[in-house]
Amino acid sequence: MIHAFVKKGCFQDSVSLMLISRKLSDTPEVDEVSVMMGTPANKLLIAATGFWAPIFDTATANDICVAIKSESQNNLITVKIGTELDAALNNLSESQGTSKNRLQKARRWQSALDKLPDANVVLISIAGEYVAELSNLALDNHKNVMIFSDNVTLEDEIKLKQKARANGLIVMGPDCGTSMIAGTPLAFANVLPHGNIGIIGASGTGIQELASQIALLDHGITHALGLGGRDLTAEVGGISALSALNMLANDPETQVITFVSKPPDAAVRQIILTAMQAIAKPIVALFLGSYSKDGDVDKNIYLANTLDQAARIACQLSNIERHRTDLLAANQLPNIPLSNKISGLYTGGTLAAEMALLLASKLKIKLDPQHDQGVMLNADGHKIIDLGDDFYTMGKPHPMIDPTTRTQQILALASQQQIGVLLVDLVIGYGAEADPASSLAAAVIDLRRARPDYPIAVIATITGTVQDPQNRDLQQNILKHAGIIIAHNLPEAAHLAVSLINLRDPPLNLPQKSDLLKGVKVINAGLRRFADDLHASGSTVVHYQWAPIAGGNLVLQNLLKKLV
């Protein structure tokens, strides 16, 4: 049996009412309680779930519809549930007003604007049928919009996104669950370290998982921009995706872009890839369901198949971009195109062999099949040598014991001005030289002094642990102090080396960073929880206590608009 009543003129957000419904459903003699606002969409849902009662025909969008499913025929059950509902609403009101530094609130749109005139984002989580009107208000006041709400028509989404694009704004959503912009958590978000990786996603949990994996790999993000689940459909055409790419392309702090989405429309996917190729930054693209071969690279685009793989590629690219920045600051970038060749001097034969394979693949050159005198690669001016080959150790100690041979080879590069990048390994542990980093660092310093007009970037990998007698950390610090870049592994070292000898055209104009990415101030309309989280995080927010005008009556709303 269904018992029902309507509580007039008491608008609340849907999440609060869901929690209250769950609590009231635990009442004795009650099977289940449904507490929902009387919006048209909610009335359809009430009817579809078997909770309908004729009294709900009298409810407006500002009224609460309460339906009680119970085997009891005692009508006093509505009095009991009504009393408990009032208590729950009072507790909700009291809990929202206990903070010493209270959340700013506004009951009218204009009041919200007056309290936060420089707001640049309106976060909307109201019933879907009212979203377009409020979003248009926000866009008309030059505010970016994030729409958490679903049940927004496709036609409205397209119109809103086109309007935003025409005014240099972005609409994130509808059905956008996650954005994290300039450290501001919007809707579902995580506390993340700051880094140099920007994320764009047409998937809320995809953004969160990708960002979390990046954090677990000891990296951080600049921003994460959500798009909503329909942005990459044929109808919408990736409008917000293109806007987000442009924003991160022009953000100097974002050095690597990572893009994640559910399966996109094929034509839209190609539009997005074309836009990515025009950006002078490395981009990791994960289109779930579009399988790519491991290691697939299309110009500046690195294709991934899983969130974990996308995070790992992004972090490797992040390291490479940071190394490039460090070399630029130290004036150690190669003088391209004069010094655009790579030399590798390795004490480990397998390390030399792998590096030769990596460079041959990236540079599209052939390996040396003979390996005479330890030469693993010798093509187009690039050379990788295994100094542990018999040719170099006949009558001499292995270079892991005695650095003399490699030191001589390093100093010989002073006259080879075409070499812009030197790759080396440092192998520590029992049996190896007591302090190989110091001898390597000294040789590099002497080399740079001997060719002051031809900077050379030196990239090292270290084989060994902190428990080894030489201590990996101590050896690493010695190399860093000498201006030697430490790569985590050989693929990273090879990638960095190749990127350094490829000349990048400087931008014709300095990029203009989007105002949105400089800092976020939010007007929150809908779920109070989002405003509380923003407030707790130290973000600037005003909670707009939105409620449907004229009880949601469209005829009355139109009349009021004409009067205004």
- 178 located within any domain: yes
For residue 159, the enclosing domain spans 109-322
Lowest mean pLDDT: which of 27-41, 254-268, 498-512? Answer: 498-512
| Residue carrying the six token digits 């201006």 | 483
The mean per-residue pLDDT over the stretch 54-65 comes to 92
Q: Read off φ and ψ for residue 539, nearest 5 degrees.
A: -80, 155
Q: Are residues 251 and 138 in the same domain?
A: yes
Q: How far is CA 87 from the centre of its chain?
A: 42
- 550 located within any domain: no
DSSP 151-198: ---HHHHHHHHHHHHHTT--EE-SS--EEEETTEEEES-----EEEEE
Q: Are residues 348 and 450 in the same domain?
A: yes
Within a 13 Å sphere around the CA of 541, how many CA atoms are in the beta-carbon half?
29
Q: Are residues 149 and 67 in the same domain?
A: no
Residue 515 CB-density burial (10 A; 0-12 exposed, 13-18 middle, 19+ buried): middle
The mean per-residue pLDDT over the stretch 67-75 comes to 91
88: DSSP letter: H
Q: Looking at the chain, how many residues does it have? A: 564
- 535 located within any domain: no
pLDDT tens per residue across span 247-288: 999 999 999 999 999 889 999 999 999 999 999 999 999 998
Q: Read off φ and ψ for residue 32, nearest 5 degrees.
A: -165, 145
Give the total number of structural domains in the chain.
Answer: 3
Q: Are residues 419 and 291 in the same domain?
A: no
Does the pLDDT value for residue 99 go beyond 60?
no
| Residue 510: band (very low, low, confident or very high) from pLDDT cuts 50, 70, 90 | low
Domain termination site, one of 458, 476, 501: 501
Lowest mean pLDDT: which of 253-267, 296-310, 443-457, 507-521? Answer: 507-521
Q: Are residues 435 and 495 in the same domain?
A: yes
Q: Are residues 274 and 247 in the same domain?
A: yes
Q: Are residues 318 and 348 in the same domain?
A: no
Q: Which of 423, 425, 440 is closest to 359 using CA atoms? A: 423
The answer to whether the beta carbons of residues 356 and 367 sit under 8 Å apart is: yes
* Predicted pLDDT at 559: 63
Query: How far apart (Å, rounded) are the C-alpha atoms in residues 214 and 443?
Result: 36
* Predicted pLDDT at 512: 82
pLDDT tens per residue across span 135-165: 999 999 999 999 999 999 999 999 999 999 9
Q: Are residues 366 and 458 in the same domain?
A: yes
- 508 located within any domain: no
Domain termination site, one of 501, 528, 547: 501
- 450 located within any domain: yes
Q: What is the mean pLDDT of the chain?
A: 92
CATH of the domain at 432: 3.40.50.261
Tokens of 334: 């190669």
Q: Which of 178, 174, 274, 276 is closest to 228 using CA atoms? A: 174
- 348 located within any domain: yes
Query: How far apart (Å, rounded) are the C-alpha atoms in residues 167 and 405?
Result: 64
The answer to whether the beta carbons of residues 43 and 65 sit under 8 Å apart is: yes
pLDDT tens per residue across span 540-552: 999 999 988 766 6
pLDDT tens per residue across span 377-390: 999 999 999 999 99
Domain termination site, one of 501, 517, 538: 501
Q: Are residues 192 and 250 in the same domain?
A: yes
| Residue 9: band (very low, low, confident or very high) from pLDDT cuts 50, 70, 90 | confident
Q: Are residues 191 and 275 in the same domain?
A: yes
Query: How far apart (Å, rounded) are the C-alpha atoms in residues 530 and 533?
Result: 5
- 45 located within any domain: yes
CB neighbour burial string for 344-371, b if at least 16 within 10 angstroms, e if fewer: bbbbbeebbbbbbbbbbebbeeebbeeb
What global pTM score does this model have?
0.84
Q: Give start and end residues of each alpha helix (H) in 457-514.
A: 472-481, 490-501
Q: Are residues 146 and 264 in the same domain?
A: yes
* Predicted pLDDT at 238: 97
Within a 13 Å sphere around the CA of 271, how many CA atoms are in the beta-carbon half?
17
Within a 13 Å sphere around the CA of 39, how many CA atoms are in the beta-carbon half?
19
Query: How far apart (Å, rounded) are the C-alpha atoms in residues 22 and 33?
Result: 7
- 549 located within any domain: no
Query: How far apart (Å, rounded) are the C-alpha atoms in residues 544 and 528?
Result: 9
Query: How far apart (Å, rounded) are the C-alpha atoms in residues 365 and 368?
Result: 10
Q: Are residues 52 and 139 in the same domain?
A: no
